[in-house]
Amino acid sequence: MTIQEACVLAQTLTNNIIFKALIIYKLFLCIVASLVTSYVIVSKGTKWLVNPNARVIYAFHMLFVFILPFSLIFPYSYDVYRIFILESEDPCAYAIPSLLAMHARMPSVFAMNVQAFTLLALSIERLVSTIYPFKYESVKNSKLGIALSILSIVGGFGCSYAILLPGVDHYKMLPNFTVRRVEKSAEFQIHTMAEFIVQVTAIVIYMGSFYRNNQQHKLYVSNKNAQLGARYQVSKHAFLFLMNTFEGC
């Protein structure tokens, strides 16, 4: 798409009623999602999780759950400015520089990818807690949680910035905020497939852990000699299994 074609399309979109309604709707959803997520983080916290590793990973996960809608408020607000406030006879005034479009949308893509990896990290942490409930109960540090959280951020960066950013022409003009590019279509498919594989892997691990958890639950609940913490590891974290399985779906 040439610069002139992008400018004409941008001006056309700003006069489209459906596009206007969609932008307002998306902006409203992002604001509401940011407020609701903030409330959940502040009110719920991580104290309900007994193990420090689960607390760390879950905290990182919720942080990026918040970043995802919050980072989209700016591009949608800019769209509102282009649609309802900006007045110009030059079609290119309504277009968006590729540099701005890419970097304004990339934080949300990064946050979405990190969420997928933190789901995988939580599934690994829960698998360890299910297989080794007695040993895991005695662990008082959060080294595993910190390591998995850092790896989640690295993985999210690799699936977003490292794949989609190199080779992008920052001097183009675009009709809307997007990270999709014709010249980067192969890389975008790799990004989508990588995220899909991470989420499916997390769900498979969760389901395997959930099955083992269910088998051990009957044993430890009836075993009075089992430590309280060990019984917790196999009976009290079904919420994490279900929450992140549905979120991954």
User: How far is Cα 3 from Cα 171, in angstroms, rounded to an integer?
Assistant: 9
Token pair for 48: 């309900």
pTM > 0.75: yes or no: yes
- 34 within 8 A of 67, measured Cβ to Cβ: no
- 177 within 8 A of 109, measured Cβ to Cβ: no
User: How far is Cα 249 from Cα 241, in angstroms, rounded to an integer?
Assistant: 12
Per-residue pLDDT of the chain (249 residues; tens, 9 = 90+): 677 777 788 888 888 899 889 999 999 999 999 999 898 888 877 676 667 888 899 889 989 999 999 999 999 999 899 888 888 888 888 888 888 888 888 899 899 999 999 989 988 988 888 788 777 777 778 889 999 999 999 999 988 888 777 776 766 777 777 666 555 667 778 878 888 898 889 888 887 877 776 666 666 555 555 544 544 554 445 555 555 544 444
Q: What angle do CA 26, 35, 196 make, to 5 degrees?
A: 60
Output the CA–CA distances (angstroms, integers) from residue 96 to 13, 69, 207, in the order listed. Answer: 12, 21, 44
Which runs of consecutive H residues, i.e. helices, occur in 72-184?
73-80, 98-131, 133-138, 143-159, 161-164
Domains recognised in the chain with CATH numbers: 3-248 (1.20.1070.10)
Output the CA–CA distances (angstroms, integers) from residue 25 to 18, 22, 77, 171, in the order listed. Answer: 10, 5, 11, 30
DSSP, res 84: I
Token pair for 137: 């109960």
Cross-strand bridge partners of residue 96:
174
- 66 within 8 A of 41, measured Cβ to Cβ: yes
